[in-house]
Amino acid sequence: MAAGRRSDLSSLAFTGGMSLLALLTLVLLVAPTLVVVIVSFTDGFSLKFPPPGYSLRWYRELIDASQLHFAAWNSVQVALITTLLSVLLGVSGALAIARSPAASARVLDSLFMSPLVLPALAFGFAALMTFSAVGWTVSTTTLVIGHTVVCVPYVIRTTTAALAQMDPALLESSASLGASRLYTFRRVTLPLIRPGVLAGGFIAFMSSFDNVPVSLFLRDARTDMLPIRMWQDLEGRLDVTIAALSSVIVIVTLLMMVVMERAVGLSRRLRQ
Amino acid sequence: MNPTLPVTAYPLRLAAPLAGFMVLFFVAPMLMLLWVSGYADPGMTQWGSLASWAKMFDAFGLGVLADTLWLGVQVTLLSLVLGYALAWTYLRLPPRLQPLVIFIVMLPLLTSVVVRTFAWIVILGRQGIVNAALLDLGWIDEPLKLLYTRSGLVVALANVQLPLMVLPLITALQRIDPNLADASASLGAGAWRTFLRVTVPLSLPGVVAGCLLTFAAAITAFISQSLIGGGQMLFMPMYLYQQASSLSNYPFAAAIGLTFLVAVLVCVSAFNALGRLSRGYAAA
């Protein structure tokens, strides 16, 4: 009896300890985002928390910050073109390797996924050296190329996962009914993998918009990118305008996540 | 048309555009890096020297490399403890709450790294929450230095990379048959014993996957390292950036980049080998 009570106690202590640690972790995950949003409404000049008073002054500053607007627009443009290119290249690549029995398909898979773990900063520098060796100056094109290399793995991953979940019997029956490969792709495969492709495209977009290490080497003053502008501003001085901008980015990200969750079940696809 | 191709597979040549793209813009630049590292001088006039490699592998360079990998280990261990507790608790939450937790975990994954790093500057700063709370409680008389310290950097990085740890852990823990823990308990094992002898071993594939992603992300996190670590700490990404950008010593920067790349590759391969072992173990 006594032993039973002791094990109940230790079990309770274990569950309690784990739950407390989990709660702490959740707070640590939410707190930073929340703090930035709150601090952005300060009426003071510093990032003091809690703020001495509240106002919208830093959002008004943000409206006039033409340098940030310029960088933001560049970033959106590069991210859009990068996403388009990543989806086109990534989906055809994923189709080819996903169900292929060939050994070369595994090699290609490793090649396509490697930019995900290798240091992007080293790649950014290597790309700059290569472009300048062949006489290309940095431009939106070089940025898009560099971003696509590091964003394509996301599309490959979600598309391959969606293809793996597809029942091959569907393709077989479509073929046995006389449908051509292209017709089957348009009418069977594509509708079934569309959520996976969209989720991959969304992650590719966010990751391009957020990219620093590649942009660092492949942009110049004409192609200033938002995360770099923010980073350089933060290295110089801690500006509250950046807090306002950050909170705008957080809220837009949050809204897009909700939309994507509803549309394609984003969280399920991120965990595959 | 290839007549031997099964109808369920697509021709491999569909991968040709991406393969070409990657060879031109990923493999070729890496080879270019190797070529550039062979120049003897920053002006890149004399090729065929190991000078930049010798400089990379001097005591200082090796120190930076070792310190970067050590930072990765510290961050990974902290994330593992925090992430495991969250993943373990997640599976015991009412199903109604689970999507909310997943959402909270995912938000940082998609929020800009600069924004997340900035948030930690606000928290750890002299006038930040931690200092304000400790001062209010009267536990300290003067603000603590938290920003630009090693422990501040480890805590911030562990949190910035936490989603990469939590998501594979949840997937691995979900795969474990709940009856196993019940069986262990009914055979008289306590909560700790069941956790250490049943749950943890069976979740090892998720642990390895999470650690791999967290480690790789932590050692390459240039923005967080530079903003939260400050100028006093030097890690491989900043070492590369300084040589390439401020000092324009391209051969040396190339040697640093390649060394870092190979170091990451070696770590990834080691993790992958561990992963195969652990999958065999979890399946046995």
Per-residue confidence (pLDDT) for residue B160, from 0 to 100: 85
Per-residue confidence (pLDDT) for residue A247, from 0 to 100: 92
pLDDT at residue B251 tops 90: yes
Token look-up 């900035």 returns B118
**CA R_g for chain A:** 24
- For residue B120, the chain A residues in CB contact (below 8 A) are 32
User: CA A100 → CA A180, A272, B12, B135, distances in Å?
Assistant: 19, 20, 7, 62
Helix, strand or coil, per DSSP, at residue A42: strand
A251 touches chain B (CB under 8 A): no
Omega within 30 of 0 (cis) for the link into A50: yes
Per-residue confidence (pLDDT) for residue B202, from 0 to 100: 87
pLDDT at residue B34 tops 60: yes
- Please provide the average confidence, as pLDDT, over all residues in chain A: 90
Residue B16 counted as domain residue:
no
- How far apart CA B125 and CA A47 sit, in angstroms, is 9
Q: Nearest residue of B to residue A20 by CA position?
A: B85
* Residues near B97 by beta carbon (within 8 Å), at least 6 away in sequence: none
Per-residue confidence (pLDDT) for residue A44, from 0 to 100: 87
Whether residue B42 contacts residue B248, with contact meaning beta carbons closer than 8 Å, is answered with: yes
Per-residue confidence (pLDDT) for residue A267, from 0 to 100: 81
Whether residue A245 contacts residue A111, with contact meaning beta carbons closer than 8 Å, is answered with: no
Residue B239 counted as domain residue:
yes
In this structure, what token pair is assigned to residue A222? 């004409």
Q: Model confidence over B99-154: pLDDT tens digits?
A: 899 988 988 888 888 888 888 888 888 888 888 888 888 888 888 888 889 999 99
Per-residue confidence (pLDDT) for residue A160, from 0 to 100: 93
Per-residue confidence (pLDDT) for residue B5, from 0 to 100: 66
- Please provide the average confidence, as pLDDT, over all residues in chain B: 89
Q: Compute the nearest-CA separation of A90 from chain B (Å).
A: 7
Q: Which residue has the higher pLDDT, B12 or B87?
A: B87
> How far does CA A100 lie from the centroid of its chain?
28
Helix, strand or coil, per DSSP, at residue A212: coil
pLDDT at residue B159 tops 80: yes
- For residue B26, the chain A residues in CB contact (below 8 A) are 111, 114-115, 123, 149
In this structure, what token pair is assigned to residue B143? 């603000």
DSSP string for residues in chain B: --TTS-TTS--GGGGHHHHHHHIIIIIHHHHHHHHHTTBSSTT---BS--HHHHHHTSHHHHHHHHHHHHHHHHHHHHHHHHHHHHHHHHTTS-TTTHHHHHHHHHHHHHS-HHHHHHHHHHHHSTTSHHHHHHHHTTS-SS----TTSHHHHHHHHHHHTHHHHHHHHHHHHHHS-HHHHHHHHHTT--HHHHIIIIIHHHTHHHHHHHHHHHHHHHHT-HHHHHHHH-TT---HHHHHHIIIIIS--HHHHHHHHHHHHHHHHHHHHHHHHHHHHHHHHHH-
Token look-up 């992958």 returns B272
Per-residue confidence (pLDDT) for residue B182, from 0 to 100: 79
B-facing residues of A in 154-193 (CB < 8 A) are 168, 171-172, 174-175, 181, 184
- How far apart CA A209 and CA A143 sit, in angstroms, is 11
Q: Which of B109, B105, B106, B113 is nearest to B85 (CA)?
A: B105
Per-residue confidence (pLDDT) for residue A2, from 0 to 100: 47
Per-residue confidence (pLDDT) for residue B1, from 0 to 100: 45
Q: What number is the average pLDDT over the span A160-174?
A: 88
Residue B157 counted as domain residue:
yes
Amino acid identity for residue A24 in this structure: L
ipTM of the complex: 0.89
Per-residue confidence (pLDDT) for residue B33, from 0 to 100: 95
pLDDT at residue A46 tops 90: no
Residue B272 counted as domain residue:
yes
Q: How much is the pTM?
A: 0.91
Residue B50 CB neighbours (<10 A): 13
pLDDT at residue A179 tops 60: yes
Residue B32 counted as domain residue:
no
Q: What number is the average pLDDT over the span B31-60?
A: 92
Q: Which domain holds residue B207?
A: 49-283
A112 touches chain B (CB under 8 A): yes
Of the listed ranges A48-52, A67-71, B9-13, B185-189, the least confidently predicted one is B185-189
Tell me, what DSSP letter sits at residue A138? P
Q: What percent of chain B has pLDDT over 90?
A: 53
Q: Domains in chain B: how many in total?
A: 1
Q: How confident is the model at residue A6 (pLDDT cuts 50, 70, 90)?
A: low
Q: Nearest residue of A to residue B169 by CA position?
A: A271
- CATH code for position B246: 1.10.3720.10
Q: Nearest residue of B to residue A47 by CA position?
A: B122
Residue B253 counted as domain residue:
yes
Angle made by CA atoms B214, B219, B222, in degrees to the nearest 5:
115
Whether residue B211 contacts residue B83, with contact meaning beta carbons closer than 8 Å, is answered with: no
In this structure, what token pair is assigned to residue A270? 């991120």
User: Roughly how many angstroms between the first and final C-alpha of chain A, as a whole number?
Assistant: 46
Q: What number is the average pLDDT over the span B50-79?
A: 95
- For residue B121, the chain A residues in CB contact (below 8 A) are 47, 234, 238
Q: Which of B37, B45, B26 is nearest to B258 (CA)?
A: B37
Residue of A26, A83, A181 best to disrupt the B interface, most CBs of B under 10 A = A26
Q: Which of A226, A221, A242, A250 is nearest to A73 (CA)?
A: A226
Angle made by CA atoms A37, A210, A220, in degrees to the nearest 5:
120
- How far apart CA B64 and CA B148 sit, in angstroms, is 17
Helix, strand or coil, per DSSP, at residue A137: coil
Per-residue 3-state assignment (H helix, E strand, C coil) for B194-250: HHHHHHHHHCHHHHHHHHHHHHHHHHCCHHHHHHHHCCCCCCHHHHHHHHHHHCCCH
In this structure, what token pair is assigned to residue B269? 């391969």
Token look-up 């060939």 returns A102
Token look-up 């997340």 returns B116
User: CA A153 → CA A83, A108, A203, B31, B73, distances in Å?
Assistant: 11, 12, 10, 21, 25
- How far apart CA B264 and CA A45 sit, in angstroms, is 42
